[in-house]
Amino acid sequence: MVIPDDSRRARAAGRVVPLVGAGVSMTVAGPDGRPVFPGGPQRLESARPAEPDLGPPALQ
């Protein structure tokens, strides 16, 4: 990520208020380079209720 020079100067002068919103965790990677936290689709998938195992279809 490239941080603009004026942003670096403002930080050095103590004139920065960081605002961290949704998606910031997506930049966090583990030692293997993969994201540490799940993204939107993975979160939705993990929140979906499991489908019950009804066994094999009944013979008619």
Q: What is the pLDDT of residues 24-43, one digit of tens each?
A: 777 888 999 988 888 777 77
Residue-level pLDDT at 35 = 85
Task: Give residue 2's pLDDT band: very low, low, confident or very high (50, 70, 90).
Answer: confident
Tell me if 29 sits within 8 A of 35, measured CB to CB: yes
DSSP string, 15-45: -------TTGGGG-B-TTSSBSS--HHHHHH
Sign of the dihedral through C-alpha 5, 9, 12, 23: negative
Task: Give residue 20's pLDDT band: very low, low, confident or very high (50, 70, 90).
Answer: low
Check whether 15 has a pLDDT greater than 70: yes
